[in-house]
Amino acid sequence: MKRPARTFHRRFWLAFGLLLPVTLIGLFVIRPEKLRDVPAVLLEAPR
């Protein structure tokens, strides 16, 4: 019973560890391109 759980956890953490940096890098690459088109006034914190 322990082996399938171990392989599942190993695959889960392997996929999670690989996908997390890819998504973070994707966000940092894609988001500045979108923020360039937005006026600076909208980026300020509301008061």
User: 40 vs 30, 43, 46, CA distance in Å?
Assistant: 18, 5, 13
Q: How confident is the model at residue 28 (pLDDT cuts 50, 70, 90)?
A: confident
Whether the pLDDT of residue 17 is over 80: the answer is yes
Q: Please give the model's pTM, rounded to 2 decimal places.
A: 0.43
Whether the pLDDT of residue 35 is over 80: the answer is no
d(CA 10, CA 8): 5
Q: How confident is the model at residue 34 (pLDDT cuts 50, 70, 90)?
A: low
Whether the pLDDT of residue 46 is over 70: the answer is no
User: 19 vs 27, 31, 33, 41, CA distance in Å?
Assistant: 12, 18, 22, 34
